[in-house]
Amino acid sequence: MNEVKTHKLGIIMNGVTGRMGTNQHLLRSICAIIKQGGVKLGDAECIMPDPILVGRNAQKLEQLAQRAGGARWTTDLDAALADASNVIYFDAQTTDRRVAAVTQAIKAGKHIYCEKPTALTTKDAYALYRLAQKAGVKHGVVQDKLWLPGLLKLKELIHRGFFGQILSVRGEFGYWVFEGDTIPLQRPSWNYRKEDGGGVINDMLCHWRYVLDNTFGAVQSVSCRGATHIAERFDEQGQPYKCTADDAAYATFELAGGLLAHFNSSWCTRVRRDDLLTLHVDGTLGSAVAGLRDVWLQPYNATPRAVWNPDVPQAINFFEGWQKVPEQREFDNAFKAQWELFLRHVVKDEPFRWSLLEGAKGVQLAEKGLESWAKHAWVTIPELKK
C-alpha cells in the first residue's frame, strides 16, 4: 500500500466559542473533516486540519477543546500567530473585533478565512482585501448559503432552463426571536445593539449580496427600510437593555438586466412558510420555492387558472399544485463544503472566488441599505475594483 502524503495545516480558530463558530465551523466542519480522514486529494494525498482554538475565556476554550477531540487551545493570539505551523487564521468573533485581528493575521503572513460581515464599513472591508492582496496571502469569506441543498437545487433548475425568463425573486427570511425575559433568547444580545455591530441589515444583506450575485445577477441598486420593532430585550445575564439596532429590514434590489428581487428579513415574524428562509422565483415557464433543503416547483402547464372572487370560498388548494424536487444526490454540510474548497485552495492553489473582495461587496450592500433607509431613496451600488 502506498504511503499517504498528508498536508497538516495548523488553523487558528478565533472566536469559535460562540454558537455558530462552535457548531458549524468547529464541530460540523473542521472536526468532521478530521473524522473523515481529511480532505482527500487523491488516493495518496490528503489535507489534515490541526485546529488551535483562540479566545478570551480559558474555561470555555478548554471545555470546547475537549469536545473537539483534544484540540489545542490558547488565550494568547500573538503566540498562535507566531507559530509557523499555524498557516491559516479563521475569525468568527463579533464583527467589531474582526478588522484588527484579521489585519494582525495578514501581517503575520497567515492565509485568511473569516465569517461575514468582514467589517462594519465598506472602507475597512475593502482595505482588508487590499492588504491581503498586497501581502500575497490567500483569503476567503464564509458564504455558506451557496452550498445549501435548496440553493443548489434552485441553481440546477436555472441551469436547465426550467423558468424560461426569470421575472422576479422574492425572499422571506426570519423567525420570532424571544425577548429573553421569560423564554430564553435564541440569538446573542449584541445582535440588537448598534454600538456592538448588531442589526439585521448588517447581518443579512451581506448574505443576500452573495446569494443574488451568484444565483440571479449582480446587485446594482437597493431600496431598503429598516425597523427596530422590539424596543427592549434581556441579555444573557437576564438584564434588560435598550435595543439600538434594527431587527427587521424590507429591501428591494435591482439586479443586472433589470430583474427585481425583494427580501423581507426579520427577527420579529412568526413563520408560516416552508422554511426559515424561502426564495420564490417566478418565470415565464414555471415557478419554484426554495427552502434551506427542499425545492417545490410548478411548471406552466400545471398552473391552476385562478379567478378572483372574494364572495365565495376559494375552491383551489394552491399548495396541492406544487411538486417537490426529488433527492438526486447527497449534500454535505454547507459550511464544511466551503471549508474543504478553501483548504484545497491553500494547499493546491485551486480556484476559490469567494474572497475578501466578495466579503467587502456584502458589507457594501449593507452600508448602502442603511444609506437608503436614511435617505428614503434608491441607492446605486458602485463597483469595487479588484
Structural domain boundaries in the chain: 5-144+334-356, 145-331+364-379
Which DSSP symbol is given to 330? -
pLDDT of residue 59: 96
State pLDDT tens for residues 4-38.
899 999 999 999 998 899 999 999 999 999 999 99
d(CA 208, CA 228): 20
CA quadruple 197, 200, 206, 208: dihedral, nearest 10:
180
pLDDT of residue 22: 96
Chain-centroid distance of CA 252 in Å reads: 19
Which DSSP symbol is given to 24? I
Name the band, by pLDDT with cuts 50, 70 and 90, for residue 348: very high
Query: Mean pLDDT throughout 308-329?
Result: 93
Residue partners of 203: CB distance under 8 A and separation at least 6: 117, 191, 366
5-144+334-356, CATH topology level: Rossmann fold (3.40.50)
What integer best gives the mean pLDDT of the chain? 96
pLDDT of residue 21: 94
pLDDT of residue 3: 83
145-331+364-379, CATH topology level: Dihydrodipicolinate Reductase; domain 2 (3.30.360)
Query: Mean pLDDT throughout 227-249?
Result: 97
State pLDDT tens for residues 280-312.
999 999 999 999 999 999 999 999 999 999 999
Return the closest-CA partner of residue 359 out of 172, 91, 104. 91
Return the closest-CA partner of residue 366 out of 351, 381, 354. 381
Name the band, by pLDDT with cuts 50, 70 and 90, for residue 44: very high
**Cell numbers describing residue 210:** 452573495
**Lowest mean pLDDT: which of 160-174, 223-237, 242-256, 307-321?**
307-321
pLDDT of residue 4: 86
State pLDDT tens for residues 213-224.
999 999 999 999
* Residue reference for cell 454535505: 332
Measured CA to CA in angstroms, residue 241 lies from 155, 229, 233, 237, 279 at distances of 42, 14, 6, 11, 34
pLDDT of residue 1: 53
Provide the 10 A C-beta neighbour count for residue 287: 21
State pLDDT tens for residues 182-215.
999 999 999 999 999 899 999 999 999 999 999 9
Residue 349: φ, ψ to 5°:
60, 30
| CB neighbour class for 330 (10 Å; exposed up to 12, middle 13-18, buried from 19) | exposed
- Is 80 within 8 Å of 74 (Cβ atoms)? yes
Chain-centroid distance of CA 153 in Å reads: 18
Query: Mean pLDDT throughout 151-157?
Result: 98
